[in-house]
Amino acid sequence: MENLDVMVLRTLRDWRLAGKRALLATVVRTWGSSPRPVGSIMALCEDGSVVGSVSGGCIEDDLIYQYTQAYAAAEAKTIPSGPPAFVKYGVSADEAHRFGLPCGGTLELLLEFDPSAAELASLVASLESGQLMQRQVSLKDGAVTLTVSAAPAELSVSASELVNTFGPEYRMLLIGAGQLTEYLATMALFSGFAVTVCDPREEYRSAWSVPGAKVLSEMPDDVVTAFKPDRRSCVIALTHDPKLDDLALLEALETDAFYIGAIGSRRNNDARHQRMAEHFDLSEAKLQRLRGPIGIYIGSKTPSEIAVSVMAEVLAVKNGVELPRDMAVAQAKNERAVQHNDPGELVCGIKR
């Protein structure tokens, strides 16, 4: 599944290029609890089609009712022209209940009517080429200005304009095409990541069965170099083979990837750090960026459960959530070993 914002903008572009009336709704403010965060977008076509989300569904239904003829009993309605307009939902307890908002939740939307097809086409083309884009909308007349952005930024709205930053897809590069990789790739795809899998071993690639992931056969370190990880990328080594994992990880540690990690036991992780420090003169600061053992501690013992724990940690790091220390696999395993005098348990053939 591709990045939701890109999907919304691409669909809206296609509607407008086809001459259909449409609107773009953006969550610009929330108070209390709300089902979708600030910056969330959805598009509504004149025929009642919707892509994206600004709530659990009830607000979408109300917008369909207000601006389209999708309901048989509705009066003749159409998406208007004119400058953007603000609309609030959930101001009262009754409205919060009606629109399915959490208790006390309120959100405000900015509605843009018939956005320019040419501007949307330009924005989507830039996002598809991997650029981070800032979209400025004049509240007076709806005029849009697009600029390349140097860094991600939160949505902002003033008395005169709305500024929202749209980024390219988050990307995940997985080293190794084993069973664990299949589970993790599947979870990453439905979480909106573009997934690339690298494995020079034919016997592993030939059994790959996850559609939607790009599979490469080159050596992992060369793939990392060509992949050019950025702040919206993560690199995870899953082969358990230092000849494949180590050089790829070394290349990744020279980039801005937001998450770099490797599967393995506590002992294997310590050995990996020692190899990199001794043989590649890697600084302690860079070694601190290398995560391992990866994942959060949920008592996982199967490839599918381990993939869940790893994906949870990746998403937490992506979303800027600092996990408690006792949720780290290494810390939890150390405490468990002390309590039970257990050197470690075998998971997928390795001590994890």
How many angstroms separate the first and last alpha carbons of the chain?
A: 30
pLDDT mean across residues, the chain? 87
The answer to whether residue 342 scores a pLDDT higher than 60 is no
C-alpha 181/C-alpha 206 separation (Å) is 14
C-alpha 88/C-alpha 51 separation (Å) is 20
Q: Phi-psi region for residue 100, left (φ > 0), alpha (ψ -120 to 50) or beta? A: left
Q: What is the pLDDT of residues 106-137, one digit of tens each?
A: 889 999 999 999 999 999 999 888 788 999 99
The answer to whether residue 347 scores a pLDDT higher than 50 is no
Domain 170-351 falls under CATH 3.40.50.720: yes
**What is the domain partition of the chain in residue ranges?**
4-128, 170-351
> Is 0.85 surpassed by the pTM of this model?
no
Q: What is the pLDDT of residue 205?
A: 92
317 strand-pairing partners = none
The mean per-residue pLDDT over the stretch 29-53 comes to 87
- What confidence tier does 276 reach under pLDDT thresholds 50, 70, 90? confident
Decide the pairing of beta strands 346-347 and 350-351.
Answer: antiparallel
C-alpha 111/C-alpha 100 separation (Å) is 20
| Three-state DSSP class for residue 98 | helix
With the C-alpha atoms ordered 230, 234, 238, 242, is the resulting torsion angle positive or negative?
A: positive
CB 184 within 8 A of CB 307: yes
Q: What is the pLDDT of residues 171-199, one digit of tens each?
A: 999 999 999 999 999 999 988 898 999 99
Tell me whether the omega of the peptide bond preceding residue 242 falls within 30 degrees of 0, making it cis: no
Window from 163-172, 175-184, 218-227 with minimum mean pLDDT: 163-172
